[in-house]
Amino acid sequence: MTGRTMRPIRETIPIGQALALVLEAATPITRTEPVPLDQAHGRVLAESVLAAADVPPFERGAMDGFAVRADDTSGATREVARTLRCVGSIFTGMIPSIAVARGECVAIATGAPMPDGADAVVMVEDTDRIGDEVRVFAPVHPRQNVGRQGADLAAGDTVLQAGSVITPSRLGALAAAGIAEPLVFARPAVAILSTGDEIVEPGRPLGPGQIYDVNGHTLSAIVRMHGGVPIPLPRAPDAMEALMQAVAEAAESADLIVFSGGSSVGERDLILDVMRAAGEVIFHGISVKPGKPTALARIHSRPALGMPGNPTSCLSNGYLLLAPMLRRMARLPEHRPHVLRLRLARRILSTTGRHQFYTVQVADGSAVPVFKSSGDITSMSQADGYIEIPAQTASVEAGEMVEVVLF
């Protein structure tokens, strides 16, 4: 026997309080970096972007058709057409060297600069052309189908505010403003340390008493989904000195440290000792099921989450705590998960006094519980999402409506 003894978790805090403490410990990132436009999707703008020039930069046709003097089309109908003489064509990318005089018109493509003299565009659908003769079947008023210079944005106008999340449409706005490398906030770097001497990387053969690392991989996926960069650390042996060293190194390069395993009460559960020795434990133990043995600390002035070793427990607190924490650090808005309202297919008994996270499968339009135990693969492989059962609820009956948060 070692000198350490098992330490049962006797005091737990409610999940809501745990979430509040986790969010309090999350410092929004201040590092910035330029990214090429093609990698900017989903990133957060670190500075407001101003229009460098008027958009459009010149008066342009807003329709394919004919640039005209609006006056020349007045009263035109399909029965009584106005006939104009076409004196040239202007394509996009061209500088018009041609002007439109009374009784004349110029073929113009959408986006091409307007020729001098013209003040409107008749769309091609309202015309008929034979040789140089263009018959116009509908009148246009001055400025009709013309994009005025600066109509969209004037030079100096704000295109996007700092803090905007770059969606495809905003990425389009950046491109239109000529921005090739927007300045964005860096993604929080998250050091992930799976502990446990029995843990083996998938792909290698299992020795006796060994199991594959699951949590390192699920945590990495959650980190990526919510705006972080996972930094998987080499597995450290279950020994105080090795872990202290690994943690000190992680704190230098990471914005957040996440341990999996080692926050339970086993004699070999060293993470809590590491947290105490290297920093300050903020909480240990949450009245949530699964996921009770979860801890938050501050180590070398970095927040550190100690996640449970059991895969389902680790996954559930990944969703309930790590994801919101990371989004705050990454300056992303609160996650809006997809929620389905479905009937529960089978009764669930819940542990009162503990908020419960329960994996379910969506099948035949109802929510089928798949949670077996917190160490289970099938709870994870068959799950499409989860339901939450509040601490004071003892059971949810078959047929009750539940809100399924989809993974």
**Residue in 27, 212, 300, 393 binding a copy of itself, rule: CB under 8 A:** 212
Contact 312, 356 (CB under 8 A): no
Residue 292, Ramachandran bin (φ over 0: left; ψ between -120 and 50: alpha; else beta) = alpha
- Report the Cα 132 to chain-centroid distance in Å: 55
Choose the stretch contacting a copy of itself; rule: CB under 8 A; options: 33-41, 72-80, 299-307, 387-395.
33-41
**Residue in 69, 82, 170, 235 binding a copy of itself, rule: CB under 8 A:** 170
How many residues belong to the site for a copy of itself (CB under 8 A)? 109
Burial class (CB in 10 A: 0-12, 13-18, 19+), 369: buried
Q: With binding defined as CB under 8 A, does residue 111 bind a copy of itself?
A: yes
| Helical pair 240-253 and 271-278, crossing angle rounded to 10 deg | 60
In angstroms, give the least distance from the CB of 81 to a copy of itself. Answer: 16
**Residue in 6, 155, 398, 401 binding a copy of itself, rule: CB under 8 A:** 6
Q: What 3-state class would DSSP assign to 32?
A: strand
Q: With binding defined as CB under 8 A, does residue 147 bind a copy of itself?
A: yes
**Residue in 376, 387, 388, 405 binding a copy of itself, rule: CB under 8 A:** 376
Q: Which is nearer to a copy of itself, 28 or 88 (CB)?
A: 88
Choose the stretch contacting a copy of itself; rule: CB under 8 A; options: 13-21, 68-76, 225-233, 244-252.
225-233
Residue whose token pair is 């299992």: 206
Burial class (CB in 10 A: 0-12, 13-18, 19+), 260: buried
Choose the stretch contacting a copy of itself; rule: CB under 8 A; options: 4-12, 20-28, 280-288, 348-356.
4-12
Q: With binding defined as CB under 8 A, does residue 180 bind a copy of itself?
A: yes
Residue 240, φ and ψ in degrees, nearest 5: -50, -50
Helix, strand and coil in the chain, % to nearest 5: 20, 30, 45
In angstroms, give the least distance from the CB of 338 to a copy of itself. Answer: 5
**Residue in 23, 94, 362, 368 binding a copy of itself, rule: CB under 8 A:** 94
Q: Per CB under 8 A, which of residues 316..345 are in contact with a copy of itself?
A: 318, 336, 338
Strands 133-136 and 127-130: antiparallel
119/69 Cα distance (integer angstroms): 5
- Contacts with a copy of itself, 278-307, as mask; x by CB under 8 A: ------------------------------
Contact 264, 254 (CB under 8 A): no
Q: With binding defined as CB under 8 A, does residue 150 bind a copy of itself?
A: no
- Contacts of residue 113, Cβ cutoff 8 Å, sequence gap at least 6: 58, 59, 60, 61, 90, 94, 95, 96
In angstroms, give the least distance from the CB of 375 to a copy of itself. Answer: 6
**Residue in 3, 75, 93, 234 binding a copy of itself, rule: CB under 8 A:** 93
Q: With binding defined as CB under 8 A, does residue 273 bind a copy of itself?
A: no
Q: With binding defined as CB under 8 A, does residue 107 bind a copy of itself?
A: yes
